[in-house]
Amino acid sequence: MAGSGHDTGAMKARWAALGAGVAALLLLFFIWPYQHWFYAGRSSVMHGWFRTVGESFGGEWMFCYFVPLLTGFLIHLRRAELRSLPLCGEWAGALLAVPALFVYWVGYKADTGYAGFLSAHLMMAALILLLGGRRWMRVLIFPWLFLFFMWPMFPIEERVVGKLRVITATLSGELLHLIGVPVVREGTALNSAADAVRGMRLGQLFQLDVEEPCSGVRSLYSLLMVSALYGYLSLKRVFPRLVLFASAIPLAMLGNVVRMVLLALGSIWFGSEFAIGRNLGADHQEMSAYHTLCGYAVFAVALAGMFGLCSLLEGSHWKSFKNLKKKAARPAASAADAVDAASTRRTIVMSGVAVGIAVAGLGICAVTNVNPAVAAPGVVMDLPLQFDKYQGIPNEMTAIERNVLDPGVSLVRNQYISPDRHMLVATVIESGVGKRTLHRPEVCLPGQGWSITDQMTVPIRLADGRAFEGTLLRMFREVEVSPGVRKRVRALNIYWYIGSDGTTTPEFYDHLRISYMDAVFKNLAHRWAMASFFLPLPESEIGFDNPMIEATALEELRDFSAGLAASFMKKPPSP
């Protein structure tokens, strides 16, 4: 009868711990209105996660939906072992909950969802330690780590994508040369080489650009997830698992290189329309079936590489899958710790603490001022019609821009013509009152047909002594000036971001960092603006570009942007 009482007490303790953990997570991440997602009212972290995954990049991150289910499966595989473990909660879990709640509060105050994602992950670890103890954490460490793949990593994608595009284009070009296909690479663009003997111009056989979907980033994150899961289920030792996980990076790139080579060869053998698709307008292309099938080459190459690598590391590794069901059902050794009334009471107390931590965190959020003072913008939304030797012509915001730009964003733009007919375009975009209402030119320009070949920071010095840095983009696009005759148009673009107090930064994510830091610690909401200066270069025959023209144009653009910026950038307040 005593044993039965202990069993009943242990069962009550387990249900109390489970209920407390679920309640804490529900309160913090499923119920409490946390962030303004998609310019709507505040809603919970998980509601925002669900919408963000489903609506971003045409569903490119939909695999994130399956990660919680796969995590549940991984826990299910350890169910026998978990049944045998006693609940020995530790106060270290409460200590870990403190930074988890601090990150939660920072995200709530700054109105950013990624802090909520990180807080949710830390809080799950804190609850495992608080309610179960170190032995539970040891068993659940891989499922907990694997759960990281449920959070879409857009900032990482955007930071890495440019570098991977260049690497993929370089490797693709080298492989095409190796198999006897002459190719000219410029930035992320690959063009078939000119052949005077055969009367072929540059790019006549194929013109490819390693755009973001072909760069390997979006497939990389999902392949990292697959490699982690595959290694955990099929490999026995830690080192081979780490090797397999790291291999997902070069395998994803290799898959995308194969994809680009297949597109080039398909264009040579069957024509560009068959291999790539048809142009249905200035900014829309219908992807061909061949192009779609080549996209699967990324996963075919990567998965084949993973299988081969696992075979190399641990021989007949696939046999491990046959034993999964047996391992999961195999009873674990009995717990050495006796489950007595004291341990049951301790678990119930810890369960109450878990719920109390969640309630305390929400209480702090409830009394937090989440309406920071909106500062005045750091720019005057007015551009002079006459500047130095340049005559300005106003260009109003187009209907397309009005639909694309976020609510509350305003724009002023002038086209400036010099006496020698050089044209420059100056644009100042002022953000709305919401966060992240400005975008990077690198996102918009490719949609307008521009291929960005280079990006770097350049110094800008105003006449009044203010000095800062801007981002310089070099780009080109090809236009058909007459049937069968194409010319290349190059352009330079310098831009930077201007904060409410005169702060400037050349980088998009740095202006977000400043916004969040000031919102949290100064209760200040910046009204950001972006200044952009665009200079097209003269048309040239493809393959016959004059580098001196670009060097001269760059100096003109820097001098022009520095001079004109003094007319619309407010001077920072005196300290």
Residue 322 has pLDDT above 50, yes or no: yes
**Could you read off the pLDDT of 3-29 as tens digits, one per residue?**
555 567 678 888 889 999 999 999 999
Question: What letter represents residue 106's amino acid?
Answer: V
Residue 246 has pLDDT above 80, yes or no: yes
The pLDDT assigned to 2 comes to 46
The pLDDT assigned to 446 comes to 67
Using pLDDT thresholds of 50, 70 and 90, give the confidence band for residue 543: low
Q: How far apart, in whole angstroms, are the C-alpha atoms of residue 353 and residue 359?
A: 10
**Could you read off the pLDDT of 254-307 as tens digits, one per residue?**
888 888 888 888 888 888 878 777 765 444 566 788 887 887 888 888 889 888
| Rg, the chain, Cα only | 29
Nearest to 82 by CA among 19, 126, 136, 125: 136
- Specify the higher pLDDT residue, 438 or 510: 510
The pLDDT assigned to 177 comes to 86
Q: Contact, 457 vs 464, CB < 8 A?
A: no
Give backbone dihedrals phi and psi of 450, rounded to 5 degrees, phi first: -90, 140
**Could you read off the pLDDT of 411-457 as tens digits, one per residue?**
999 999 988 878 899 999 998 766 666 778 877 776 566 778 888 99
Using pLDDT thresholds of 50, 70 and 90, give the confidence band for residue 106: very high
The pLDDT assigned to 221 comes to 82
The pLDDT assigned to 337 comes to 45
pTM score, whole prediction: 0.81
Looking at residues 195-221, what average pLDDT do you find?
A: 70
The pLDDT assigned to 201 comes to 74
Task: Please state the length of the chain.
Answer: 575
**Could you read off the pLDDT of 468-501 as tens digits, one per residue?**
999 999 988 776 555 555 677 889 999 999 998 8
**Could you read off the pLDDT of 111-161 as tens digits, one per residue?**
888 899 999 999 999 999 999 999 999 999 999 999 999 998 876 666 666
Q: 206-215, 261-270, 290-299, 313-322: which has the highest mean pLDDT? A: 261-270
Helices 341-366, 113-131: crossing angle, 10 deg rounding: 160
**Could you read off the pLDDT of 350-392 as tens digits, one per residue?**
999 999 999 999 999 999 998 888 888 899 999 999 998 899 9
The pLDDT assigned to 494 comes to 96
Residue 520 has pLDDT above 80, yes or no: yes
CB atoms within 10 A of CB 335: 15
- Specify the higher pLDDT residue, 105 or 320: 105
Question: What letter represents residue 551's amino acid?
Answer: A
Q: What is the mean pLDDT of the chain?
A: 83
Coarse DSSP helix, strand, coil percentages of the chain, rounded to the nearest 5 percent: 55, 20, 25
The pLDDT assigned to 357 comes to 95
Residue 53 has pLDDT above 50, yes or no: yes
The pLDDT assigned to 212 comes to 58
Count Cβ atoms within 10 A of the Cβ of residue 289 and give its class: 0-12 exposed, 13-18 middle, 19 or more buried. Answer: exposed
Percentage of the residues of the chain whose pLDDT score is greater than 70? 82
Q: How far apart, in whole angstroms, are the C-alpha atoms of residue 10 and residue 346?
A: 11
Count Cβ atoms within 10 A of the Cβ of residue 336 and give its class: 0-12 exposed, 13-18 middle, 19 or more buried. Answer: exposed
The pLDDT assigned to 1 comes to 42
Residue 318 has pLDDT above 80, yes or no: no
- Specify the higher pLDDT residue, 284 or 503: 503
Domains of the chain: which residue ranges?
2-152+338-370, 178-315, 374-568
Strand 373-374 versus strand 524-525 pairing type: parallel
Using pLDDT thresholds of 50, 70 and 90, give the confidence band for residue 62: confident
Q: Contact, 104 vs 115, CB < 8 A?
A: yes
Residue 336 has pLDDT above 60, yes or no: no
Six token digits for residue 361: 């965190």
Angle at 423 between CA 421 and CA 426, to 5 degrees: 150
Residue 58 has pLDDT above 60, yes or no: no
Q: How far apart, in whole angstroms, are the C-alpha atoms of residue 259 and residue 291?
A: 9
